[in-house]
Chain A
């Protein structure tokens, strides 16, 4: 049964809640497997985000004898910032994909993939240069 179908004996479609109706307006409830797959993808991004947050802490806490303080702090902030952006990006992507599925539109391109790839490459390059230079 899709959301657009009415429950037996009921005059109006079932309410989805104010937040859902505001952020996911219109369309039809997609196949539940797709909704759940979208949620799993969101959770995978959140795990990546938490790994980056933990990595930022690890850099700050455990590498005091390896990196100079400005480098250590800079790397930690880059990783923490990336973790934050990834959390926000994961939620936005979940919303955009859910909206597309409700309206049977093509799925949007994942904008957080190039962000993560670019920032990861820059962070790895900084560490590599610093380790070789040291």
Chain B
């Protein structure tokens, strides 16, 4: 989550050079960080109860969304560099 916040702050540094498209990158990055922040308590609780029960379901949706956010940020970043 903190890495995403840091990346979103760095994206803002691009704003004077590349203009408004950077806000899309910032929104994706900060949005992913916010989603993690808002769901971390529920996920922590599920995991800690899972360890106690010795049964934890693999959180495939969270893994896929996180990977998708990284891919989307990279693709948008490349688009901005090529367009700029």
- Interface, chain A (partner B; CB < 8 A): 1-3, 16-17, 19-20, 23-24, 29, 31-33, 35-36, 38-39, 42-43, 46-47, 49-51, 53-54, 56-58, 60-62, 73, 76-77, 80-81, 83-84, 86-88, 90-91, 94-95, 98
Contacts and interface: CB of A to CB of B under 8 A. Distances in A.
Contacts of B11: 57
B75 interface: yes
Interface of B: 3-4, 6-7, 10-11, 13-14, 17, 47, 50-51, 53-61, 63-64, 66-71, 73-75, 77-78, 81-82
Contacts of B77: 53, 56-57, 76, 80, 83
Given A84-B70, A87-B74, 12 more contacts: A1-B53, A19-B60, A36-B51, A42-B66, A46-B3, A47-B3, A49-B74, A53-B73, A53-B74, A83-B77, A91-B66, A91-B67
Nearest to A57: B10
Given A19-B61, A20-B57, A23-B60, A36 B47 contact: yes
Contacts of A2: 55
Given A47-B3, A54-B6, A61 B81 contact: no
B56 A46 contact: no
B2 to A, nearest CB: 9
B3 A24 contact: no
Nearest to A64: B17
